[in-house]
Amino acid sequence: MNVSGRASDGLSGLARLNRATSVGFTALAWAFRNEEAFRLEVLGAAVLVPLGIWLGHGGVERALLAAAILQVMIVELLNTGIEVVVDRISTERHTLSGLAKDLGSAAVMISLLLAATIWGCILLPRFFG
């Protein structure tokens, strides 16, 4: 099932790719509308990805700086998926439900630390080295 509530209907080839792309954009729009953290990360990415491409020396640095920011958004989406599934099962407080959500948040935190580390390792020596 996708965010529209329909199964993939056994599609293949370009039809499947088209459906997957459509579902992906629908899910991104849902996350942007409903998740404040994701909205903030999109706004940050709108600034930091172009900045990273501009500041990077060569393709590898540019790719690392951009990817570091985009991976934060990926982890945030996975965390949101965990939260949605937990809430789908039950909105009642339960130790394991809370743990699942906390672990997802920890993954986001680590992804933010990774992004900061990558940016720091690439850019700090340039400005302070």
Res 67: pLDDT = 98
Residues 88 and 114 grouped into a single domain? yes
Percent of the chain as helix, strand, coil, to the nearest 5: 85, 0, 15
Please tell me whether residue 92 adopts helix, strand or coil conformation.
coil
- The pLDDT of residue 127 is 87
The mean pLDDT values, 10 residues at a time, for the chain of 129 residues are 60 92 97 97 98 97 98 98 96 95 98 98 91
Q: Which of 35, 36, 41, 76 is an active site residue?
A: 76
Of 108, 44, 106, 100, nearest to 74 by C-alpha is 108
Does the annotation mark 92 as catalytic?
no
Q: Are residues 50 and 24 in the same domain?
A: no
Confidence at residue 103, expressed as pLDDT on a 0 to 100 scale: 98
pLDDT at 3: 58
Tell me what pLDDT residue 42 has: 98
For residue 52, what are the domain limits? 36-128
pTM confidence score:
0.87
Residues 83 and 121 in one domain: yes
Q: What is residue 5's predicted lDDT score, i.e. its pLDDT?
A: 56
Output the CA torsion sign for 25, 33, 117, 119: positive
**70-88 b/e (C-beta count within 10 Å ≥ 16 → b):** eebbebbbebbebbeebee
